[in-house]
Structure 1
């Protein structure tokens, strides 16, 4: 998808924000985002063929978004695909990438006007003993970042940032030890091993919270709570500013959900850090 197509895709993605979609509907949504440049000029039957679903599914998808049918949705898609003249046209590629991240954060800010999902996720995670945090491949550093800070307020955080045959063993061990919920960070290109781990975690009885790039991510199908945060795609490698911000928002909500024990742990850490002279004054 070229730069103009990315902008249109981002606008299309906004149509699905806050809407709980079925797996079939997520396939349609993903198809419309991926083919944003031409989807607005296709019939319902052509979209269905492109997404690998039935034509009635496309109609039901449009109705689920609040439109009378697919033609009404298609008119909106065409409007979203209009020209985008603005100051961004004068920016170089690096500036445009950073500007797009600022737009992502702006949408995340608006999304956080309603905190129901964030608070529900926080309640699940702060009470889980232990707390597994899954992040493979590109999500590994973000899992480690979250785990580092979460370990200051939670008694037993287990970062799962490597795959292989032992990954499910570690999920089993955490579950046996009493874990009731897990956090999964699943970012494009959506490692199969991450998605398989989510399926297995649900089968084990975990409540699964996911931070992923959109509400129509493949990870969303296997989760109890999805916290979407867009990923920047303007550079050779993705920018994860949005998911990192969402991770820290979630951690703040976890602290707010159980403030007294959190404060005690923070004070104990500060006392230990001072005694051991860990940080430069």
Structure 2
């Protein structure tokens, strides 16, 4: 399968130690992979919300003489995408179009299922399984934990911060947890980074679903699988991270030998109680 423009950009950034500002530029370039080879340094700076000199320093950090050399390289190695068609769409339609692109990029990423399969094995083996998500990511963590509890014997949702968060991580570790799953979405709370650092120090393996491979949580995650968020509306949209969470659930079910039996038991109990309206 031919690498997508986003995948080729990811490969360009791998192995470089980037500052937070540079990670922001890299993230913006991945989101705009199809047209970034044709943006000026000023335009890229506007897209990323940084200064033009920051774009120049970013290009140098990647080993180029300056931004023109980086753009020339991108035009040679990043194939042009379908282009920014749909200029006549309204802002709501554009937001939907952007989410479709995010899902397409996720589909390309999943062509190599190895990271998901590795993560699933780690999640399935952890008893209990703590699932962390604060602020914008709380809904993703809560959704995963709700469904995971139907097949996993002990899922512990960590969706509230504060001084008790590290206590709850420690409690899970003492109870036998070996892995913590984190959903991390912008804006990234400092508390999440601190919590993951604490989890690793306690001996937990950290698996993270984040909006970018360059997110602040990357440095404190053993396994990070990216799924971009949409930024076209006042508040970010997270269709791709949600779908990636369901993919992890599916792969985790395959690692749990009694998952199907647990689901059938739940369905029988729900039917007996008349839990759902048919």
Q: TM-score, normalised by structure 2?
A: 0.81
SS at match of 1:17: helix
d(CA) in 1 for partners of 2:176, 2:116: 23
Q: How much has 1:215 moved relative to structure 2?
A: 0.9
2:277 is aligned with 1:280: yes
Where does residue 211 of structure 1 map in the other structure? 209
Q: How much has 1:219 moved relative to structure 2?
A: 1.0
Q: How much has 1:17 moved relative to structure 2?
A: 3.4
Where does residue 65 of structure 1 map in the other structure? none
Q: How much has 1:15 moved relative to structure 2?
A: 3.5
d(CA) in 1 for partners of 2:139, 2:261: 27
Where does residue 21 of structure 1 map in the other structure? 14
Q: How much has 1:31 moved relative to structure 2?
A: 3.1
Q: Residue 263 of structure 1: which of 253, 260, 265 is its match?
A: 260
d(CA) in 2 for partners of 1:18, 1:250: 23
Distance change in 2, residues 1:12/1:106 (3 Å): closer
SS at match of 1:89: coil
SS at match of 2:112: coil
Q: How much has 1:271 moved relative to structure 2?
A: 1.5
d(CA) in 1 for partners of 2:40, 2:222: 33
Q: TM-score, normalised by structure 1?
A: 0.80
Distance change in 2, residues 1:26/1:249 (3 Å): farther
Distance change in 2, residues 1:244/1:96 (3 Å): same
Unmatched runs of 5 consecutive residues or more in structure 2: 30-35, 45-52
Q: How much has 1:220 moved relative to structure 2?
A: 1.0
Where does residue 223 of structure 1 map in the other structure? 221
- Most deviating of 29-38 and 264-273: 29-38
Distance change in 2, residues 1:24/1:265 (3 Å): same
SS at match of 1:216: coil
d(CA) in 2 for partners of 1:113, 1:85: 23
SS at match of 2:208: strand
Asked if the contact 1:58–1:70 (Cα under 8 Å) also holds between the matched residues in 2, the reply is: no
Q: Residue 135 of structure 1: which of 133, 147, 150 is its match?
A: 133
Distance change in 2, residues 1:69/1:14 (3 Å): farther
- Most deviating of 26-35 and 230-239: 26-35
